[in-house]
Amino acid sequence: MSRIVVVGIGADGMAGLTPASSAELNRATVIYGSKRQLDLLDESVIAERRDWGRPFRDALYAIRDFDGDVHVVASGDPMLHGVGASLIGLCGADRVTVLPHVSSVTLACARLGWSVQDTEVISLMNAQPRAAVRRGGQAIVLCRDGSGPGELATVFADAGRGDSPMTVLEQLGGPAERRRDGTAAVWASTPPGGVDDLNVVAVRYLPDERLLSVLPDDVLAHDGQLTKQSMRAVTLAALAPRPGELLWDVGAGSGSVAVEWCRSGSSCAAVAFERDEVRRARIAANAFMFGVNVEVRGAAPEAFADAELTDGGVTGVQTPAAIFIGGGLTTPGLLDACLQRLPSGGRLVVNTVTAESEMVLLQYYSNLGGQLRRFQHYRGEAVGGFTGWRPAMPVTQWVVRKP
CATH value at residue 319? 3.40.50.150
Whether pLDDT at 156 is above 70: yes
CATH code at position 48: 3.40.1010.10
Q: Does 115 lie in the same domain as 91?
A: no
Average pLDDT estimate for 9-36:
95
pTM value is: 0.86
pLDDT in tens, 273-300: 999 999 999 999 999 999 999 999 998 9
| Residue ending a domain, choose from 204, 237, 263 | 204
Q: Is residue 112 part of a domain?
A: yes
Q: Is residue 297 part of a domain?
A: yes
Q: Does 366 lie in the same domain as 393?
A: yes
**What is the reported pLDDT for 305?**
67
Residue 172's nearest CA partner among 108, 236, 234 is: 108
Give the max Cα distance, the chain. 88
Domain that holds residue 64: 4-102
**What is the reported pLDDT for 179?**
98
Domains identified in the chain, total number:
3
Long-range contacts for 210-217 (Cβ within 8 Å, ≥24 apart)?
210/134, 210/135, 210/136, 210/137, 211/135, 214/260, 215/256, 215/259, 215/260, 215/263, 217/256
Using pLDDT thresholds of 50, 70 and 90, give the confidence band for residue 373: very high
| Distance in angstroms (rounded) separating the CA atoms of residues 89 and 93 | 8
Q: Does 173 lie in the same domain as 257?
A: no
Residue 279's nearest CA partner among 339, 197, 224 is: 224
- For the residues of 340-363, what is the DSSP string, one character each? HHSPTT-EEEEEE-SHHHHHHHHH
pLDDT in tens, 47-105: 999 999 888 889 999 999 999 999 999 999 999 999 999 999 999 999 999 999 999 99
**What is the reported pLDDT for 306?**
58
Whether pLDDT at 169 is above 60: yes
| Residue ending a domain, choose from 74, 102, 130 | 102
Q: Does 86 lie in the same domain as 134?
A: no
Share of the chain above pLDDT 90, in %: 88
Whether pLDDT at 314 is above 50: no
Please say whether the beta carbons of 11 and 171 come within 8 A: yes
Question: Chain-wide mean pLDDT for the chain?
Answer: 93
Using pLDDT thresholds of 50, 70 and 90, give the confidence band for residue 116: very high
Whether pLDDT at 312 is above 50: no
Q: Does 345 lie in the same domain as 260?
A: yes
| Residue ending a domain, choose from 63, 86, 102 | 102
Q: Which residues contact 182 (CB under 8 A, 6 or more apart)?
A: 153, 165, 166, 167, 192
Residue 258's nearest CA partner among 278, 277, 285, 276 is: 285
Average pLDDT estimate for 261-279:
92
Q: Does 116 lie in the same domain as 83?
A: no
Residue 317's nearest CA partner among 339, 342, 334, 336 is: 342
Using pLDDT thresholds of 50, 70 and 90, give the confidence band for residue 267: confident
Share of the chain above pLDDT 70, in %: 97
Q: Which residue has the higher pLDDT, 196 or 318?
A: 196
Average pLDDT estimate for 303-312:
56
Average pLDDT estimate for 212-216:
92
Q: Does 119 lie in the same domain as 47?
A: no
